[in-house]
Structure 1
Amino acid sequence: MATPDFILRLREKIGTDPLWLTGVTAVVLRGEGATQEVLLCRRADNAKVTPVTGIVDPGEQPAVAAVREVLEEADVVAEAETLVWVNALPPMVYGNGDQAQYLDLTFRCRYVSGEPRPADGENVEVFWRRVDELGAQDDLGADMRERIRTAVTGEARARFEV
């Protein structure tokens, strides 16, 4: 994941100390019913498969960040439909020692246009996969699978962990 400039500036001041950051997951869906597909990316840094994810810039609306990340990472135009899950992720330590913890806001997004491709170097592959065909072969972690499931179920209210 490319590190945003505002985080690099913070790191100059605080070193590797923990940062609390707001992240977004954009679960982009197209189609309906049995043929519904989800947009997935194979990340360049760890080869894991995920929906589009990213960091909210200072002052940016989270839904706008989700849509921006989809365009930047996958060259796909999407529309954020609803916030489906608010979830504090576990603390993490990057290879360089930087510590972070994310408040993830997962959005269900509707596909508008574009052919998916790795657009900014963060991913090596971007592709559609039928939701009913998601399986272990997709290298999706349980947490990403749950974000997709929550978005697909289309519950009327956002899910909150308590």
Structure 2
Amino acid sequence: MPIPEFVARLREHVGHDPLWLPGMSAVILKDDPQRPGGPPWVLLVRRSDDGSYTPVTGIVDPAEHPARTAVREAAEEACVQIRVERLVAVRVVGPVTYPNGDVSNYLDHAFRCRWVSGDPVVGDDESTEAGWWPTDGLPPMLARHEEAIRLALAEDSDVFFG
């Protein structure tokens, strides 16, 4: 998994010690063409490091707005164009320990997004698959990703702080 250049520079100073980083999760939805008015589909990627399914995720670059990160990461990871509709959750994720020993904690901003264009394909080496899944037939995934999808599907406008 590539790490952003600014994180690599920080790691030169702190080694494997925990970093506190801003993160983003984009729950990208589109209507199911087979079931108009039915449950939507969600775009999931399969991570190349551990094989798990997740929404599009990423680290927010310095001075980048997390919603802009969602748009950028959707294009980079899955080659799709999206529109961010709303913030659905702000959560602390971690600590996450990577295979090289690096430890990070994330302040994750989860967004409900709408697909605009593009057929999902793997766009970088962070994933091995990118595709649509029915929200009523998701593959196994971490509870925090299931929660982000559930919150994105909810019609209320309250942001979950968890």
**TM-score, scaled relative to structure 2:** 0.94
Equivalent residue number for residue 45 of structure 1:
49
CA-CA distance at 1:139 after TM superposition: 2.7
Aligned to 2:107: 103
Helix, strand or coil at the partner of 1:40: strand
Q: Which runs of 4+ in 1 moved over 4 A?
A: none
| Contact 1:84/1:155, CA 8 A, preserved across alignment | no
**Which of the numbers 77, 83, 107 marks the counterpart of 2:81?**
77
Deviation, 1:35, is: 4.1
Following the alignment from structure 1 to structure 2, what is the Cα–Cα distance between the partners of residues 154 and 50? 21
Counterpart position of 1:25: 25
1:147 aligns with 2:157: no
Q: Once the 2 structures are TM-superposed, how far is the Cα of residue 20 of structure 1 from its aligned partner?
A: 0.1
How well do the aligned residues superpose, as a CA RMSD in angstroms?
1.1
Letter in 2 for 1:133: G
Q: Does 1:63 align with 2:67?
A: yes
Q: How far, CA to CA, are the matches of 1:69 and 1:56 in structure 2?
A: 9
Q: Tell me how far apart the structure 2 counterparts of residues 120 and 90 of structure 1 sit (CA, whole Å).
A: 24
1:33 positional shift: 3.7
2:10 aligns with 10
**How many Å apart are 1:95 and its aligned residue?**
1.4
Give 3-state SS (helix, strand or coil) of 1:20's partner. Answer: strand
Is the CA contact 1:34–1:132 (under 8 Å) kept in the aligned structure 2? Answer: no
Measure, in 2, the Cα distance between the counterparts of 1:33 and 1:105. 28
Say whether the 8 Å CA contact 1:23–1:56 is kept in structure 2.
yes
Question: Tell me, what secondary structure is at the counterpart of 1:65?
Answer: helix
Deviation at 1:155, TM superposition (A): 2.2
Deviation readout 1:55-102 (Å, 9 max, x if unpaired): 000000010001100000000000111000000113121111111100
Where 2:38 maps in the other structure, the secondary structure is helix
